[in-house]
Amino acid sequence: MVHMSGHRPYVIRGSVSLPEAELMWRFSRSSGPGGQHVNTSDSQVELRFDLARTEALPEVWKERALERLASRLVDGVVSVRASEHRSQWRNREMAATRLASLLAEATAPPPKPRRATRIPRGINERRLREKKRRGETKQGRSGKGWG
């Protein structure tokens, strides 16, 4: 595993971003595009983030994310792969962006519960009248009672 540091932070939401120090990078040969170049360069990127032990996320977010990503976690660590591009740098960008959006989705507050509303009686009656009229139109096409 290689720890990378340097460029812009990957924002999860608001002022919270991925902590560079806690990102674990691994590079390997990619099966993607690149011809003979692919056989010699480690362009596939695997980015791992220890969700269970991080201090970078607010506690509420962390609990939410651990619960929602439970099926993807291995010992509390979430991992993301990228191998679409020929360049390792672009795959790194892709992996980090993917991880940030995955965490943004997993830490989002639950949606507000839907408030049940009643359908106005007039609308329902109009719908039933239309249905009846449509049925009568179709009935008229059957040719019954023509003699």
Domains and CATH numbers, the chain: 11-107 (3.30.160.20)
SS3 102: helix
Name the pLDDT band for 129 (thresholds 50, 70, 90): very high
What is the C-alpha to C-alpha distance for residues 49 and 61, in angstroms, rounded to an integer? 15
pLDDT digits (tens, 9 = 90+) for 36-56: 666 667 778 888 888 888 888
CA distance 4 to 2: 6
Q: What percent of the chain has pLDDT over 90?
A: 14
Q: Given this model, what pLDDT does residue 38 score?
A: 62
CB 20 within 8 A of CB 4: yes
Cβ atoms of 94 and 71 closer than 8 Å: no
> Bigger pLDDT: 73 or 4?
73
Determine if the pTM surpasses 0.95.
Answer: no
Closest CA to 88 of 4, 27, 22, 11: 27
β-bridge partners, 45: 27, 82
What type of residue is 146? W
Question: Exposed, middle or buried: residue 140 (CB in 10 Å: 0-12, 13-18, 19+)?
Answer: exposed
Average pLDDT over residues 23-28: 85
pLDDT at 37: 64
> 66 or 4, which is more confident?
66
